[in-house]
Amino acid sequence: MVNTFSFACSACGKCCNSPPAMTLPELFRHRDLFIGCLAIGRVPRRRAGERLRAGQHESVLDETDAAAFASLADTLLHGAGDTFSIVTQGYDYPSLARCPALEDDGRCGIHLKGKPVTCEVVPLDPLVPDTLQHLVLAGRNQSALYLGTDCIQEGPRADATLLVAEGRIEDANAQHALARRRHALEQEKAMWGRAVFESLRNDLFESPAALARIPSGGFLTISIVPALLAVAGASVRCREWCLDYIDSQLALIDRRVAQALLRRRLDDRPVTQELRGFASAFQRARTLLVAPKQSRNEDLVFASSVEAYLSSACN
Ligand code: SF4
Ligand code: SF4
């Protein structure tokens, strides 16, 4: 069979080499373990006739493929023309080369306490149509991260789950995880993503000089505060949850920076600077959020949606 891949995760932990993308409620739930940030990436619009290649696999996109990419972009991403992903994620010192939840035996320490949905989706990509996931797997099968792990294999294998075949996701768990991650991204866009995109429109998304700060194929990381301010404004309860989150994050940043100072690594210094910047942004947000509020009309529908969205992590 062509374009067929199997997958068998042995939980070796090799792909847990940095903190993952996490939803805001997931970051709230694990607020004493993960420092939250916003990661902003550029995602080019795909056009019919465009050739995508990964390893030995190649596809020339037709109108249906281009429409499937556009549908995902319209639902999950931001902007027109070139589109941008804005996600919340964990942040830590790259020199540690590990997710903070990774145990020394290679296991995930939060597997039973709410493992991030993005980790359940591995090795698929929610921004790629199901019919083209074989290209994602072909690319990942060749990446250094997965080399030597054998978890992604071409063709059907007796000792692995058939993941993708002939343009379909074959495994029900993978289908479910992809659906949940896409739903989560859609929800994040509605709860705070649109507001953050608008708040950064002039200073980032419409400024060529600022856009140049987004590395090609990578992410620009900034403070998570714009997302917090978007949800904190929904109701008094949301504001209290955000203040609680800010206090936990300030304490966690203090601990992480103190550990880094003991390591005395030169390459940690810019990260420490960035974390101090995050801490300053949290302090400013704290001052803003504790200040007495003018009475104003709350959007009760939005308030109850945001409370429901955050409550799984805060109660
Ligand atoms: S590298 Fe592969 S086998 Fe190891 S944890 Fe990640 S998905 Fe599983
Ligand atoms: S949360 Fe768990 S599965 Fe996800 S990257 Fe961290 S250790 Fe790996």
pLDDT digits (tens, 9 = 90+) for 90-126: 999 999 999 999 999 889 999 888 889 999 999 999 9
Q: What b/e sequence results for 44-55 when a residue is b if at least 16 CB atoms lie within 10 Å of its CB, and e otherwise?
A: eebeeeeebebe
DSSP annotation string for 37-90: EEEEEEEPPP-TT-EEEETTEEEE--HHHHHHHHHHHHHHSBSSSSEEEEEEEE
Q: Can you tell me which residue has the tokens 């080019």?
A: 44
Please determine, for residue 240, whether its predicted confidence score (pLDDT) is greater than 60.
yes
Pocket of ligand 1 (CB under 6 A): 9-15, 122, 146, 149, 151
Distances (CA, A) of 221 to 40, 89, 215, 278: 6, 9, 10, 10
Is residue 294 scored above 60 in pLDDT? no
Ligand 1 nearest atom to the CA of residue 145, by list position: 1
pLDDT at 144 over 80: no
Task: Dig out the tokens for 22 from the structure.
Answer: 């996490």
Distance between Cα 175 and ligand 1 center (Å)? 18
Tell me, what's the pLDDT at 14?
Answer: 87
Alpha carbon distance 67, 86 (integer Å): 21
Taking the CA of residue 13 as reference, the ligand 2 atom at the shortest distance is: 8
Q: What's the CA-to-centroid distance between 219 and ligand 2, angstroms?
A: 19
Average pLDDT over residues 116-137: 96
Q: Name the residue at shortest CA distance from atom 7 of ligand 1.
A: 9
Q: Is the pLDDT of residue 147 over 70?
A: no
